[in-house]
Amino acid sequence: MQLVELRKHLDSLLEASRLKDYCPNGLQVEGRPEVARVLCGVTASQALLDRAAAGGHDAVFVHHGLFWKGDDGRVTGFRRNRLRTLLSQDISLFAYHLPLDVHPELGNNAQLAQLMGWQGEGRFADQDLGWIGQPAREGESAHAIADALAAALGRAPLLVGDGDRVVRRIAWCTGGAQGYFEQAILAGADLYVSGEISEPTVHLARESGVPYIAAGHHATERYGARAIARHLREVLSIEAEFIDLDNPV
């Protein structure tokens, strides 16, 4: 497949220009004009790029790319090494941040809900990033949902607040979305799940009575890129694979 056609397909599929983001979404590094093999992962780390180079991949697809607003623009250190790997091997890099979070089927939030059996019924927070709906089982507690997350994600989440609270409405937003906790409460959530946690989150959970689960940034955002790999295989007949490189967060 031509790189330009793959770019058009992904930009359209993920509506790359619709959301206000703090990074460039889409093709971040241009490689060879033909794409037959794509490696998908969460972050454009050196380890992932090395795997792409060793495996003869033509392109890499990630959620966390190389360029972010506020970064030092100088190409030194790890930035130099990552770019050198891509450019020396003529490998393209695609990165979609918020667009991969919000996609109704392939996005991180949608895929986490599918994994956990949650039923999304509405959206909240800026640009409708957060999801809210019903838990997998009626009447289960926040403790029970934390245990289910541990089993599904393969890591122990951190639960703060009232773990015995019955969860009739669950809200979630993958990654570093702890800042949407108050908006989740206002939307009527009995529990909010995200990836990370910060110091004020603990106090808000205790004082509001709404528990909070930090299930891991990487742990909650593995599934969008995996879904994209499946989409590329099934829809575009491109050889695509997802690699989950170990990350404890």
pLDDT of residue 44: 98
Quick check: 231 and 115 in contact, CB under 8 A? no
The per-residue pLDDT of the chain, averaged, comes to 97
Residue-wise pLDDT for 17-74, tens only, equals 999 999 999 999 999 999 999 999 999 999 999 999 999 999 999 999 999 999 988 9
How many Å apart are CA 106 and CA 174, to the nearest integer?
13
Domains, the chain, with CATH or none: 3-97 (3.40.1390.30), 103-217 (3.40.1390.30)
Alpha helices, H only, 176-242: 181-186, 199-208, 217-220, 223-236
Alpha helices, H only, 117-222: 142-153, 181-186, 199-208, 217-220
pLDDT of residue 35: 98
pTM (2 d.p.): 0.97
pLDDT of residue 133: 98
How many Å apart are CA 12 and CA 173, to the nearest integer?
23
